[in-house]
Structure 1
């Protein structure tokens, strides 16, 4: 029933996260288990993103159940990927009409920009979500009800768990979900800050190393943009076909070394500072 056997990795992550939370809820806090939970919240965000682009199952009903389950684990309804990510970000690719373009808040690439990006983009996105839902309610009431079910899949478990033990809910559920949501939004900054939103191929940064096998090839971002409906397991092949078209400065190597160089060494050592690839208006 899976579209690809490679999504067995996705299923392992989706089962491991609530099991580790439940284990700590009953047995007590563990730093090791909590660290794995925080990592798995990153994985759930990527799985949610991948499932929105290409549903995991060949069955419509299994996909709809997975929509609800992912909304529950993510702490946010999955319909948002359709109205802002695919309909806007993938369409405009860091360009002037992309609501989530990183240069909307200044053409920079530094630690403060990375940390602030999720907080800056949320006030832009939520009015868009509300307007999209209002249009959907008029155009397709059944789809609108499915979106409301996704909200229920988040809010009802939150209420029940907070009623049972608000401290455990805060520590084991809400904070990890906020951590995952931060990375989901901030990854946009890592992938696009100082890239050229006016370029055909140089609008995204790509990462190599362990981030790809651990997080479903999320680092191969140009190939994902160029082939948004391709299964994540095919991105290494697609990236190899595109690599020669991408500015070498956007081949960033490992994610954590890139963040260390750019955000920590950059302010101290000029050779590690990021420089914008945005083309001046008069040369476009």
Structure 2
């Protein structure tokens, strides 16, 4: 099969649907108002695509290279994180070094040993995301070459779109790409910040909320993900069940808005329907 895991069909379909809406509004919007409305509405959906992009870089959606490169190009236009950027900065960088703050590509501690604030971490890691990925790429030439190709191809596509309608390109593509690049860094602060541990079971926060893990494709099972990052995201709940007794209770966090609200609404509806 072209798609390696059938369950990946729903994120793939959503990614393509969002691209379709992007292009329809880009080409046919009668005014600038509709692109602005769509940009604001789609930011949350594209935020979920950031999670799916992350998962794809650990376990590719497709069994053929051309399809993976194509979906990476599309997700790059959605999220500002092009193909191989996740691989170099995250998989070949952060995953290997997250237990050592002096080497971690997503370090939350300064060289002087101070815990960064969330905003300091967001801007530092965000602005250095691509330079850091290229630096990691000095040891991984094939992946680095792909990253450079993807960056140039993405820039070319944005240039072509800008030649057609630069305002719509800015609103529908470029602004969301910049926002979501920094937003990804912003939310990753919650994964490890303050946990200066050598024990991998104590170095990561987890979120077990059902709705959070539905929309992020199990990103909340983060300890399991770090232990076996090559496992498909659909297998992480099972792995979490096997290791959850090793994770201290204080390393479980609430999902936050809007997922906590979804959970409360679901619980209330269940009570009403069951008469409990």
TM-score range normalised by the length of the shorter chain: 0.7 to 0.9
Q: Counterparts of 1:100 and 1:15 in 2: how far apart (Å)?
A: 30
Q: How much has 1:253 moved relative to structure 2? A: 2.2
The answer to whether the 8 Å contact 1:74/1:180 transfers is yes
Aligned positions of 1:129-148 closer than 5 A: 129-134=133-138, 136=140, 140=142, 145-148=145-148
The 5 Å alignment of 1:199-214 reads 199-209=199-209, 210-214=211-215
Distance 1:256 1:205, change over 3 A: farther
1:99 is matched with which residue?
105
SS at match of 2:105: coil
- Residue 93 of structure 1: how far off its partner (Å): 2.4
Distance, in Å, in 2 between the alignment partners of 1:214 and 1:258 is 9
Aligned residues: 252
**Distance between the aligned counterparts of 2:191 and 2:138, measured in 1?**
31
CA distance in 2, matches of 1:251, 1:69: 33
Aligned partners of 2:69 and 2:174: how far apart in 1? 24
Where does 1:141-180 land on structure 2 (aligned, <5 Å)? 145-180=145-180
- In the other structure, the counterpart of 1:266 is none
Q: Does 1:254 align with 2:260?
A: no
Contact 1:21/1:37 (8 A) holds in 2: no
Residues 157 and 243 from structure 1, CA distance in 2 versus in 1: closer, same or farther, beyond 3 angstroms? Answer: same
Output the TM-score relative to the length of structure 1: 0.78
Q: For structure 1, which runs of at least 5 residues remain unmatched after alignment?
A: 260-284
Contact in 2 for aligned 1:207/1:255 (Cα 8 Å): no
1:162-211 CA deviation, whole Å, 9 max, x = no partner? 22222222221111112221222122201112223333311111113222
Secondary structure in 2 matching 1:56: coil
**TM superposition shift of 1:212:** 0.9
1:231 aligned onto 2:237:
no
Give TM-score, length-normalised by structure 2: 0.80
Structure 2 Cα separation of the partners of residues 23 and 258 of structure 1: 30
Q: C-alpha root-mean-square deviation of aligned residues, in Å?
A: 2.7
Q: After TM superposition, give the deviation of residue 124 of structure 1 in Å.
A: 4.6
Check 1:94–1:257 CA distance in 2 against 1; reply closer, same or farther (3 A cut).
farther
Moved more, 186-195 or 65-74: 65-74
In 2, Cα distance between equivalents of 1:257 and 1:167: 31
| Structure 1 residue 150: Cα displacement | 0.6
CA contact (8 A) 2:207 2:220 kept: yes
